[in-house]
Amino acid sequence: MIFLDASIVRDLLSIETCIAAVEHAFRLHGEGKAPQPGVLGVHAPHGTFHIKAGTLELGRHYFAAKTNANFPGNIERYGLPTIQGVIALFDADRGTPLAIIDSREITSLRTGAATAVAAKYLARADASVVTICGCGVQGRTQLLAVASVRTLNRVYAVDRNAENATRFAREMSNELGIQVIVEPDLAVAARASDICVTCTPSRTPILGAGDVNPGAFVAGVGADNADKQELDPALLARSAVVVDILDQAVTSGDLHHAIAAGVMTREAVRAELGAVVAGKTRGRLHDDEIVIFDSTGTALQDVAAAAAVYERALAEGRS
């Protein structure tokens, strides 16, 4: 069994490699070749612990269980990251532990990768203007991921902390070579965009039904448990909704709140992303409809990314 810390993961797992791995995982799920992943949430006084587990056949049969601590106040209180945790990777045929992997980089990359896969299949082909709401580490990964699957010419950076937004705009403009504009009003930015990604810890809606133009693609990324919410239920009700894992989405995230508000039902969800990737159903039916990807985060993403890192580490003799 090997241990792979955050620096090794950072060296070995590019966003492009992660996107390919996550897309393959969604395709396997859509083809019925991946067992339903499991999830468990445990509350703590200042945050939550999430345990996600799943298996995938990737030439070798892998099982991974990720335990993540999500503590939004860590930076201010202790100077520690919001997300900390580990992934235990196993050989699923023998039950043998293969690796303990720091989960922070994988969680960030696989979450961005899921948005990229969704944007590839659900955003309009000509989508070129993006809003990123939440200009932290995840916001950076989300933008890099979307830029890997769509040719972008303008980005709007939205954050309640103006300093964060300004730093994000400067750094990402330099890294991507495109115009990144700070916009304090999310509605203004979203109305000017083809793609809108929300990745915040909000517990109340920040994007309303009138804030998104026809034809837009929206990825709601931040609401990964039942207490969080970013998208107004009325926005989901007027849109085509695609989810990562339906059983998760109906109990957590933005779909959960729309169902609780009585404006959506489980049956009204257009598809799981895996079914779209596998070609079993169409995610976007026409250019004028709003398509929402409700991203709650699935263990299949973690298995795929962890296996990619592990195999690369073995090939390069890293541990």
Nearest CA to 197 out of 118, 255, 258, 93 is that of 118
Residue 158: CB atoms within 10 Å: 28
Phi-psi region of 102 (alpha: psi -120 to 50; beta: other; left: phi over 0): beta
Instruction: Record the tokens describing residue 313, joined without a space.
Output: 């580490």
Respond yes or no: is residue 66 known to be catalytic: yes
Our CA angle for 50, 53, 58, nearest 5°, is 140
Class of residue 37 by CB neighbours under 10 A (exposed 0-12, middle 13-18, buried 19+): buried
Our CA angle for 60, 63, 69, nearest 5°, is 140
Contact present, 191 and 265 (Cβ < 8 Å): no
The residue annotated as part of the active site, out of 66, 120, 228, 280, is: 66
For the annotated catalytic residues, the residue numbers are: 66
